[in-house]
Amino acid sequence: MVLPGAIWLLLFSYLPMPGVVLAFKTYRLVRPPADAFIQNKFIYSLIKSPWVGLDNFRYLTLPTNIDATLTYIRNTVLYNLLFMVVGLVLSVALAVMIFELTNRFLAKVYHSIFFLPFFISWIVVAYVVYALGSSQGIVNSIIAPMGLAPIEVYKEKAFWPFIFLIANIWKYTGNGSIIYLATITGIDRELYEAAAIDGAGKWKQFVHITLPHLVPVIVLLQILAVGRIFGSDFDMFYTLPNGAALVRDVTQTLDVFVYGMLRSSLPLGYPAAAAFLQSIVGFILILITNAIVRKTKPEMALF
Amino acid sequence: MDIPIKPEAALLDKSFASKKEGRDMLALSPTTNVVLTILLGFLCVLTLIPIYVIVIASITSEASLLSNGYQLWPTEFSTLAYTFLFSQGSIVITAYKNTIISTVAGTVLSVFMVGLYAYPLSRPNFKFKTFFTFFAFFTMLFGGGLVSYYMVTRQILQIQNSLWALFLPSAFSPFWVIVMRTFYQTNVPNEIIESARIDGANEWRTLFQIVMPLAIPGLATVALFSAIGIWNNFFNCLLLVDEAKYYSLQFTIYTTLNNIRFLLENADKMAGLVNISELPSQTFRMAMAVVTVGPIIFAYPFFQRYFIRGLTIGAVKG
């Protein structure tokens, strides 16, 4: 029964794993001779390609490139931290508000609406950004009569952190709140009743009952999020700015950077070095976070 | 869990904490409730604005667009874009066809693979349970990175430039395996499986006739999320497809948006080379975006009754 899934994992997840060594090699395409044991061009070339140590990483830190590399790392990490914190707070807040709503039918309708953006692709969101914020956009047709200067999001860096943050909140808060809502629904009502009798208000009930029940879920999700801190929502960062070069400094993340190098004529080792940082550092961070959690609260550790 | 409440408080007189009274006691004050209702309602409206924006942009007439730009309420409406979209536009139709085929194939495949993979992991007596759980879970923590993945899919698996490229990479997910495993554990009592076995049903028959029907909300959730995932997928096509006849819908509409923005912004530089008024209509592009979202909005209510339940049960203990 596990066979089809196991084969898929083997092909799409495990097979690329040894490929991380590309970061330490200069990849050269070599045609395997007819008598070679391995006939696949990529595997054969990968084995035959010379080891170059940290040369590929050195490319990323060349005086001409170091600024870009650091900028993209900064963007990736800061956007991720921002989304983690804001996403967590808003999802929990939304879950609590929906749970507390007296009218259960309305609560369901609301939740369905908040969940809807999760199903809309980033490409469509890119259209929305265009229709709102381009030189011909709706925002301009609203602010022009007020005598304000027109805006052009594809040329102005300052807008992008807000665009990404709002887009991220819009798309994921409803989805994120589901798991918290489910956890809150599962909490024993008698705890709240007892607290209410003891004179605890809603806020005290939240801090002393709801929050402690949510902590295990929060910790679990945050450990996984830490592991993705060098990754990013590729579709969002790639499509929303629509390739606008003027705002690249605030929109490009490591994922997009790696993809760009991969599709350029640069040696394969350069993007591989950046990708190596992403997978290895992410993995190490997960291990560290998990170890810390295990030290303090063993029952909440991921593994 | 360390909850600072006096233990005796939880053992209050039952009559006092009866269900109805309990609800009333815990209910929000009417004022707070009204404020909360209005606040959430307002946020819902905000949530729907982007959808409103592209719908309205798609029915703005071309003339009104050229003179006034996009507006919240256009001076002139027109459904010409839709007529145009369905009358010709072979790119869109090919992309639609590719996306529908890969969504159906990918969804069937992922329900099949996730459903099958998760079931043995949910049974207490499966010998390699720990191994296969870890085998799936590990891929959530570590991956070979984009470059290696790109080379493997193109050079070893060689799925580029085919419909396979659009759905095979998204046809399985360790995350959903873990959700499904929990779902089986909590929703399919062990006794039912054992009695089926005693009645002489083999492992497969038990799975298909007893377990799967009980697991429908969970499987429907997996189906919905993988369908949406493949329908909305942009990356597979970007990475693995170079030939227009295999383009997916999302990729096609992204390329068109990209082209129009480039042409408009560089119109001054290209004066004489391109005549803006001859560009394929902009509302046409917005209509394309709307048509992409359409099927999702229609499928949503049908699946919704399943997936909230599927998600909550599967995810809580996961």
* Residue of B137, B92, B128, B132 whose CA lies nearest to B318: B137
- What is d(CA B208, CA A178) in angstroms, rounded to the nearest whole number? 29
The ipTM (two decimal places) reads 0.86
Same domain? For B161 and B34 the reply is: no
Q: Are residues B285 and B257 in the same domain?
A: yes
Task: Decide: A252 and A221 in contact? Cβ < 8 Å.
Answer: no
Distance of CA A170 to the CA centre of its chain: 14
- Residue pair B103/B227 in contact by the 8 Å Cβ criterion: yes
- Cα angle at A134 between A133 and A139, to 5 degrees? 40
The domain total for chain B is: 2
Cα–Cα distance, A177 to A185 (Å, whole number): 12
Does any CB of chain B come closer than 8 Å to the CB of residue A181?
yes
B101 reaches A (C-beta below 8 A): no
Q: Please indicate, yes or no, whether residues B41 and B168 belong to a single structural domain of this protein.
A: no
Last residue of a domain, one of B29, B62, B81: B81
**pLDDT at residue B55 in the model:** 84
Residue of A40, A121, A125 with shortest CB distance to B156: A40
Say yes or no: B254 and B135 in one domain.
yes
The answer to whether position B8 is within a domain reads no
Q: For A105-157, what is each residue's pLDDT tens digit?
A: 888 888 888 988 988 899 989 988 988 888 778 888 888 888 888 888 888 88
Mean pLDDT of B60-79: 75
Name the DSSP class of A264.
S
Residue B100 located in a structural domain: yes
Whether residue B211 sits in one domain with residue B138: yes
Q: Based on the fold, state whether residues B136 and B164 are members of the same structural domain.
A: yes
Calpha distance A196→B8 (Å, rounded)? 14
Residue B258 lies in a domain: yes
The lowest-confidence range among A36-45, A167-176, A290-299, B161-170 is: A36-45
Q: How confident is the model at residue A23, as a pLDDT?
A: 85
**Span B185-204, average pLDDT:** 83
Least confident of A34-48, A266-280, B70-84, B140-154: B70-84
Residue ranges making up the domain that contains B44: 14-81
Report whether A100 contacts B15 (CB < 8 A): no
Q: What is the model's pLDDT at position B116?
A: 92
Residues B140, B143, B146: CA angle, nearest 5 degrees: 130
Count Cβ atoms within 10 A of the Cβ of residue B262 and give its class: 0-12 exposed, 13-18 middle, 19 or more buried.
Answer: middle
The reported pLDDT for the residue numbered B110 is 94
Task: Give the residue from B81, B108, B135 where a domain finishes.
Answer: B81
In-domain check, residue B9: no
Nearest chain A residue (CA) to B4: A208
> Does the residue B101 lie in any domain?
yes
Chain A, 15-44: which have a CB under 8 Å from a chain B CB?
A: 15-20, 22, 40-43
The residue ranking higher by pLDDT, B57 or B280, is B57
Residues 278-297 of A with CB under 8 A from B: 278-279, 282-283, 286
**Do you know the residue count of chain A?**
303
Q: Read off the pLDDT band of B17 (50, 70, 90).
A: very low
Q: Quick check: B10 pLDDT over 70? A: no
Of B10, B120, B261, the CB nearest to A130: B261
The answer to whether A117 faces chain B, any CB pair under 8 Å, is yes
Q: Does the beta carbon of B270 lie under 8 angstroms from any beta carbon of chain A?
A: no
Looking at the fold, whether B228 and B209 belong to one and the same domain comes out as yes
Non-local (6+) Cβ contacts of A179 within 8 A are A217, A221, B311, B312, B315, B316
Under 8 Å between Cβ of A82 and A61: no
Q: Does A99 touch chain B (CB under 8 A)?
A: no
> Any chain A CB within 8 A of the CB of B51?
yes
pLDDT at residue A161 in the model: 93
pLDDT value of residue A24: 86
Q: What residues of chain A, 50 to 89, have a C-beta less than 8 Å from chain B? A: none
A58-67, B188-197, B230-239, range with greatest mean pLDDT: B230-239
For residue B84, the model assigns a pLDDT of 67
SS3 content of chain A, % helix, strand, coil (to 5): 75, 0, 25
Higher pLDDT, A70 or B201: A70
Q: Say if CB A259 and CB A234 are below 8 A apart.
A: yes
Name every chain A residue with its beta carbon within 8 A of the beta carbon of B238: 238, 259
Percentage of residues in chain A with pLDDT exceeding 90?
A: 22
* B202-226 residue pLDDT tens: 888 888 888 888 888 888 888 888 8
Q: Chain A partners of B231 at a C-beta cutoff of 8 Å?
A: 121
> Is residue B7 in some structural domain?
no
Poorest-pLDDT segment among A154-158, A168-172, B22-26 = B22-26
Task: Say which CATH number the domain at B222 has.
Answer: 1.10.3720.10
Banded model confidence at residue B16, pLDDT cuts 50, 70, 90: very low
Chain B within 8 Å of A246 (Cβ-Cβ)?
no
- Do B77 and B98 have their domain in common? no
Residue B113 lies inside a defined structural domain of this protein: yes
Q: How many CA atoms lie within 13 A of A86 on its CB side?
A: 17
Q: Is residue B3 part of a domain?
A: no
Q: Do A268 and B147 touch (CB under 8 A)?
A: yes
Residues of B in contact with A271 (CB under 8 A): 146-147
DSSP B233: -
Residues B39, B164, single domain; the answer is no
What's the pLDDT at A81? 94
Distance in Å, alpha carbon of B143 to nearest chain A alpha carbon: 6
Same domain for B103 and B171: yes
Q: Could B293 and A124 be called an inter-chain contact, meaning their C-beta atoms sit closer than 8 Å?
A: yes
From the list A2, A16, A185, the residue facing B148 with the nearest CB is: A16
All structural domains of chain A, each given as residue ranges with its CATH number in brackets, are 1-52 (no CATH), 54-300 (1.10.3720.10)
Residue B121: which H helix or E strand, with range? helix B90-122
Chain A contact probe: residue of B25, B122, B141, B293 with most A CBs at under 10 A = B141
Is residue B183 located within the same domain as residue B70? no
- Interface contact A202-B28, CB threshold 8 A: yes
Residues B149 and B114 in one domain: yes
Last residue of a domain, one of B29, B47, B81: B81
Q: To the nearest whole number, what is the mean pLDDT of chain B?
A: 78
Contacts with A4 from chain B: Cβ below 8 Å: 112-113, 116-117
Half-sphere exposure for A134 (CA within 13 Å, toward CB):
25
pLDDT band at B188 (very low <50, low <70, confident <90, very high): confident
Phi and psi angles of residue B317, each rounded to the nearest 5 degrees, phi first: -95, 0
User: Across the interface, do B26 and A15 touch by the CB < 8 Å criterion?
Assistant: no
- At position B125, the amino acid (one-letter code) is N
A-chain CB neighbours of B250 within 8 Å are 121, 123
